[in-house]
Each structure stands twice: as C-alpha cells, then as structure tokens.
Amino acid sequence: MLQRRNFLKQAACLGAASIAGLGSSRAFAQGQQEERTLRLYNIHTGEFSNSTFWANGRYLDDGVESLDILVRDHRRDQVMAMQRELYQNMYQLQQLFGSHEPLYVISGYRAPESNASLRYASSGVAEHSLHMQGRAIDIRIPGVSHRHLHRAALAMGNGGVGYYPKSGFIHIDTGRTRHWTA
C-alpha cells in the first residue's frame, strides 16, 4: 500500500510538472544541468549499459552512441541514431520509479525488414512503425507494475504510449500524443 501511495504521489508531481511545462522532455533537457545516466538491459542480446548521455547542459556523444548500440535491431545487427528526446523520456521514467533495476529493452530500433517480418507474424505491429525511424521503444522495469509504468508515461504527455499488459511491456515514442492498449 505504501508503494502505491508513493507512486501516486510521484505521478501527481510528474503530472503537475507536465502542466507547468517542466515535464516536456525539451524543457527537461534544457532546464537542468545535472548528469543523466540511463541503465538499460537488452533482453535479446543480454547486453547491459550504464551510460551517461547528458552532462553540463548538453548531450554526450559517447553516451548516446552507447545507448544507440544497445537498442539496435538485434535481428539485423543494425544501429540507428535514436531520437534523443526518447532517452530523456526514458530517463524521466527511470527517475520517477527510482528503481535500481535497469530499464529492460524489448524492442528499440527496427530495420524495415525486421518490422515487415514482425508485422507478418503479428497483427500488433504497425506498417509505418516509429521504431523504424528511431523514435520508439518498448520497455519494462522489473519490480514495477506495467500498469503503473503505463500511467506514468501517460502523465508525461509526450508522444505515444502503448500498453501491452499480456506481453508485459509499454511502448513510448516521440510521435504525436496518443495512447492505446493492445
């Protein structure tokens, strides 16, 4: 019960920050100078990254590149420069939950061929997926309810948020603001 109250309190603060304009990733990225480090684990490759991608008011190329490599299309071993705002959104979620666990990456960048194969196998894959543009990622955080993670991503008000409760992950992207459940 205490964990749920703490979550609701943090989500309310995040929602208030969004309304005040502080929750937007762009404002978040430009308005604070502290270091930002993402802890990620790719469930398909077993790779782990603890990469500082932001410090002293700017993106760090080495940190961003390290994250781009980890979220690459593992099926084709292709890397794409992901939209940096996506990393800011992931960082906000990581901070909100204060988890010591890394964010688990289910799917990051997808080459068009990989997306077509996944689309052929499942009706839940968009033909023009933002994954192919480096603007979307599917994640989960061990020990954090997918429902709570979904609600927190919605409260940020940045881009698309998909909820996949049967598959155990959420989707976030930097497209237009929208949401869905699959």
More confident residue, 33 or 77: 77
pLDDT at residue 151, as a whole number: 97
User: Each residue of 136-173: pLDDT tens digit?
Assistant: 999 999 999 999 999 999 999 999 999 999 999 999 99
- pLDDT of 92 over the 50 cut: yes
- pLDDT of 32 over the 70 cut: no
- pLDDT of 135 over the 80 cut: yes
- Pairing status of strand 136-140 against strand 103-107: antiparallel
Domains of the chain: 2-181 (3.30.1380.10)
Sheet holding 103-107, edge to edge: 58-59, 48-55, 36-42, 103-107, 136-140, 169-173, 160-164, 178-181
What is the distance between the alpha carbons of residues 69 and 136, in angstroms, rounded to a whole number? 15
**In this structure, are residues 50 and 39 in contact, taking their beta carbons and an 8 Å threshold?**
yes
Assessment of whether the complete model's pTM goes beyond 0.85: no
Q: For all residues of the chain together, what is the average pLDDT?
A: 86
